[in-house]
Amino acid sequence: MMRFTNKLSYGFTLFLLLSACGVSQNEPPKDDPLERTMNVAKQGVYYNRLKQAEINYKKSYQYALTRDDRDDIKNAGYNLAVVQLDMNQLQQAYDTIRKVHNDLYIRNDDNSPELDLVEAAILYRLHRENDALRLLQNAEKTNQDDIQERAYFFMGLIAKDQNNLSLLVENSQKLDQIFKNNKKAYKEESWKADQGELHAWLAYKNGKYDEAITTAQYVEVNRRQQIEYRAMVRALVIQAMANRAKGNAKQAANLLLRAGKSSALLKDYSDAKSYLSQVMNLHSDELTYNLASQELVSIVQIELKEKNK
């Protein structure tokens, strides 16, 4: 049996890392090497030493396979994929999830909403939105509110990207319903930010630009405090788009420049270049234009270095 824990999680995914429940007298004894590597990995996540976490989750996964324990396999494999996703290692994260699915399949366990959820996040980042939607629609059928909340949020983001206003409204309302039915939701800062982000996008799509800006500002602060920087970037972008729609080119350019710088440091180079190009197209002022241009040049140089490694 596994449960979610409220440990820190970095980046777009916002996933909660999994940890094993307490062992009863009827369960096998603890595996010391497995427990040790899992604990070291969790410490690596806590201190944002993600490479250390990845190495130890890989070791944990091998111990789990040796132990031939389905829950431990799912636990270690899920956490490994989450860390790889946060490190922007999209293909490695996808390969990990497929391996976990295969290892569970041969152990007669082919239904895992939490694995569907993290795979959907990977596919979303790989721009395979329709595949991600299919997995999210399966994940939302679970009775685990943690997974339902994330599924509704991600489906809302995909609806926003596809300009599907009715689907965005539907999933925003489902998320609102969780808050009506679940008192715990009001204690989950990430959940409140998820709800706020979908509300901000809806306000923007409906031309309520001041409301979109105000709501996105709250989300920006929340995401920064939760160390959810990719989500924070999206909050900056909402504000920029709403300001641009209002004719505030200078404020929009500054927000996009901030979003571009953070994205570059997160190694989301494609997003960073998009935001910085928009800054330059706005021609708000000479300094902002030059800063965006310099940042673009730096990103291109970094990409060339990484390509030639």
Q: Look over the chain and give the mean of its residue pLDDT values, rounded to a whole number.
A: 88
Residue 219 vs residue 7, higher pLDDT: 219
Q: Which residue has the tokens 């007669």?
A: 108
N- to C-terminal Cα separation, the chain: 43
197-245 tens-digit pLDDT: 999 999 999 999 999 999 999 999 999 999 899 999 999 999 999 999 9
Confidence of residue 28 (pLDDT cuts 50, 70, 90): low
Query: CA-to-CA distance for 96 and 119, rounded, in angstroms?
Result: 10
Q: How many angstroms separate the CA atoms of 15 and 150, rounded?
A: 8
- Torsion from C-alpha of 241, 247, 250, 256, nearest 10 degrees: 10
Q: Give the span between the Cα atoms of 21 and 15, in whole angstroms.
A: 18
pTM here?
0.85
Q: What is the DSSP letter of 21?
A: P
- What pLDDT does 59 receive? 96
Strand partners, 19: 3
Q: Please calculate the CA angle 60-77-33 and round it to the nearest 5 degrees.
A: 10
Confidence at 277, pLDDT banded by 50, 70, 90: very high
Least confident of 18-27, 54-63, 71-80, 223-232: 18-27
Q: Which domains does the chain have, with CATH numbers?
A: 188-309 (1.25.40.10)
Per-residue model confidence as pLDDT tens digits over 106-135: 999 878 899 999 999 999 999 999 999 999
Residues whose CB is less than 8 angstroms from the CB of residue 178 and which lie 6 or more positions away in sequence, other chains included: 145, 148, 149, 152, 185, 191
